[in-house]
Amino acid sequence: MTGPIRDWANSAFPTVITTFVFAAYFIKAVAPDVVSGTELWGYAMGASGLAVALLSPVAGAVVDRSGRPSPWRPCSL
């Protein structure tokens, strides 16, 4: 049970960094202007969400089919 609790506690930091800090940096410093930066950031987040949605079932099936336990499992306890 400690794995899900630690995962929940650790997920706030990457969420804040990805949502607010890196997004603001990208929009204001990397993109040519704020409007196109916001648009590009939205497209990037949409593409990454789509990639996760499409690749996660395939990756999960590959791992399940191998039959080996995950070597990272002890790290999640």
User: Does residue 53 lie in a domain region?
Assistant: no
Three-class SS of residue 1? coil
Tokens of 63: 């791992």
Confidence of residue 74 (pLDDT cuts 50, 70, 90): low
Q: State if pTM tops 0.85.
A: no
More confident residue, 33 or 7: 33
pLDDT in tens, 8-64: 667 788 888 888 899 999 999 999 999 999 999 999 999 999 999 999 999 888 878
Report pLDDT for 11: 78
Check pLDDT > 60 for residue 3.
no
User: Does residue 15 lie in a domain region?
Assistant: yes
User: Does residue 30 lie in a domain region?
Assistant: yes
Report pLDDT for 68: 74
Per the structure, the count of domains in the chain is: 1
